[in-house]
Structure formats: C-alpha cells, structure tokens
Amino acid sequence: MAKSKKIPAKVRKIHIGTYYFDVFYLVSSREKCIKAFKEHFLEDISNKDLRSGWATSLEGDNGQGAYFIWMHEEQGFDCIAHEVFHAVKYILCNYAGLTLSGDSDEAFAYLLAHICHQVIHKKGEICNGEQAAK
C-alpha cells in the first residue's frame, strides 16, 4: 500500500479585484486547518464543526473584505463548489449589495467559476504534487 503524501497547510489567497475582496482557502486535515487559522488569523476555531468543509467571513486589511474557505484534503469538487458558493453569496449579497435574481445571476455564475477554477487548479497541485490541467 502506497503512503499518502503529506499535504502542507498553506493558506492561499485569491484576490477578487472587481470587488476589492480576498478569498483565502486551505486544503488540509482538520488539525492543520485549526493550526493554520490560528497562525494566520489569530483565532482559535477548535470548537467549530469542521468535518468536510467550513467557511467564514473575515475582516480584511484596510477595510477590504475577506473570506476563508477550508476543505478537507479528501473532499472533491462537490465540497469545493459548496463552500465557494457560500463565499460568492457573501461577496455579492453582503459585501457588494446584490440580490440573486435573473438580472444578477451572471455575476454569481462568473465569480463562482473564477474562484472554483483557482481552488481546483491549486488543489490538483497540492494533492497530486504536479500542476493540474488548465
């Protein structure tokens, strides 16, 4: 049986320039998530229900919005889409003031695709030790 690779707990950032917003994400074990969140954001989240994924809003630098997404290293695309949707909803509804409707759904769809693409690309590199397909 081959040993699984240890995945480094490195918090990555996606800057959403249009909305002056940063999305931080981490693909790791629960334990590494707790440790990394405390190191990067100075908050203990050991009491949170961290099973397959978790997301929360943050206060960014200089009044800039920020959001944190964590996915367990064994989760797939469904978990990524689920957690990224929470971030997109927060960015566009709570931060930018949009309401999801027929007039705004393209903004939601494009932002969801953009963030998912970034996370999936990096998750492939992290989990496979090689560059994911573009």
In a domain, 61, yes or no: yes
pLDDT at 8: 47
For the chain, the domain total comes to 1
Query: Quick check: is 70 in a domain?
Result: yes
Is residue 109 one of the residues assigned to a domain?
Answer: yes
Q: Which residue has the tokens 């707790």?
A: 34
Q: How far from chain centre, in Å, is Cα 50?
A: 14
What's residue 41's pLDDT? Answer: 86
Asked whether residue 80 is domain-assigned, the answer is: yes
Check residues 46 and 130 and name the one with the higher pLDDT. Answer: 46
3-class DSSP assignment, residue 22: strand
What's the pTM? Answer: 0.80
- Give a yes or no: residue 49 inside a domain: yes
Asked, for residue 7, whether it belongs to a domain, the answer is no
- The number of beta carbons lying within 10 Å of the beta carbon of residue 120 is 16
**pLDDT, tens digit, for every residue of 114-126?**
999 998 887 665 5
For residue 72, is it within any domain?
yes
pLDDT at position 11 is 87
Assigned domain for 134 exists: no
Those residues whose C-beta lies under 8 Å from the C-beta of residue 100, and which sit 6 or more positions away, are 89, 92, 93, 108
Q: Judge contact between 70 and 54, C-beta under 8 A.
A: yes
User: Tens digit of pLDDT for each residue in 62-114?
Assistant: 677 889 999 898 888 889 999 999 999 999 999 899 999 999 999 999 999 99
Angle between helices 105-128 and 77-89 (to 10 degrees): 140
Question: Domain range holding 44?
Answer: 12-128
Contact between 65 and 13 (Cβ < 8 Å): no
